[in-house]
Amino acid sequence: MRIELQRRPAASGVFSLVSPLLALVLTLIFGAIMFRLLGKDPGHALYSFFVEPLLEVWSLHELAIKAGPLILIAVGLSVCYRSNNWNIGAEGQFTIGAITGSILPILVPQWHSVLVLPLMLVMGAAGGALFAGIPALLKTRFNTNEILVSLMLVYIAQLFLDWLVRGPWRDPKGFNFPQSISFAPEAVLPPLLDSGRAHASILFALLAAVLVWFMMRFMLKGFEVTVLGRSERAGRFAGFSARRMVWFSMMLSGAFAGLAGISEVSGSIGHLQPSISPGYGFTAIIVAFLGRLNPLGAIASGFVLALTYLGGEAAQLSIGVSDKVTRVFQGLLLFFVLSCDTLILYRVRIIFGSGRAREAKS
């Protein structure tokens, strides 16, 4: 007996709908088995992992804080990946966006104006876009591989931030701790509601997702992205420029990552420090793919991944499992989603004895 994957003549409509649910069910089952093995009650554990964080208002705020940057970056990346450009360096663009956006509150803290915050956001987005322009420039000019270049630039960005907050931008009154001065109130993204900490970053994310979805669905630019992504040659016949698309997609995703960076620093942290992201730029790659490179899908998957972070913390506290369980859960989820997606294009055939004979003949 053996198991074979057979390519379906067309993508299965049923499975495109069922596959994410199946993946979720499988994750829950294997998660439950894992909790059982750890000696915890699986029902209680899954409840505290996936339900508890959704029951309280403050926790929903925290969910929004985590999901905001993930969604915002993933939306940009989904356009980029659709156009067959592989920007892996969103983490770096996030960091540079945070730095360029922080120029005003750190270097001219005495300038108090309502213009500070909007300017910060614009400068953050511009910084991220320009930084993503480097791999775009190198790709269009010298045909370099944008995957490698954008990835390596992440480390450059992080070390640059490290140098800044230890050196020229360090708070002189900060007991030598490597961080910048705290932003003045007018440079801080205010909380949306009184009930928690959530700030505008989640609104930017949702707005970006809807706008990009609209662009991809109804505008010529979206069509251009899809055509060039599927076949550069076909795109050229239609008069689209692959070079311009490299610039467009890289800078768009860079701008979103940069905006996420400055929003995070301004809204959640309030100053610059050596580490400003728990890997949002990389996790967003997962978010983009879980959302099937659809901007609206990124909203859903962004919230799911944010939930696993919070759930891990809640489960640690209420049932005392290790924080590593979170990672295992994220891994399980990703694994099952990707493997279940196979079912959309392939059919599983279990072949008994006769199959071998047929193989021998051919």
SS3 346: strand
CB of 317 to another protein, least distance (A): 5
Closest contact distance (angstroms) between CB of 270 and another protein is 9
Q: Which CB sits closer to another protein, 175 or 237?
A: 175
- Are the beta carbons of 199 and 190 closer than 8 angstroms? yes
Quote the least distance from Cβ 167 to another protein, whole Å: 8
The DSSP string of 21-69 is HHHHHHHHHHHHHHHHHTTS-HHHHHIIIIIGGGTSHHHHHHHHHHHHH
Residues contacting 324, CB < 8 A, separation 6+: none
Q: Which lies closer to another protein via its Cβ, residue 55 or residue 107?
A: 55
Nearest distance, CB of residue 211 and another protein, angstroms: 27
For residues 9 and 239, which CB has a smaller minimum distance to another protein in the complex? 9
Kindly list the residues in this chain that would bind another protein in the complex (CB under 8 A). 22, 25-26, 28-29, 32-33, 36, 41-44, 46-47, 56, 58-59, 62, 65, 162, 166, 175-178, 197, 264, 268-269, 273-276, 278, 313-314, 316-318, 320, 322-323, 348
Minimal distance, residue 6 CB to another protein, in Å = 14
In the complex with another protein, which residue's Cβ is closer, 130 or 269? 269
Closer CB to another protein, 107 or 317, in the complex: 317
How many CB atoms are closer than 10 A to CB 215? 17
Nearer to another protein, 30 or 111 (CB): 30
C-beta separation of 76 from 298 below 8 A:
no
- The CB-of-345 to another protein minimum distance in angstroms stands at 15
Alpha helices in the chain (DSSP H): 13-37, 42-46, 57-82, 90-101, 103-107, 116-142, 146-166, 201-218, 220-230, 232-237, 242-264, 280-290, 295-319, 324-345, 354-361
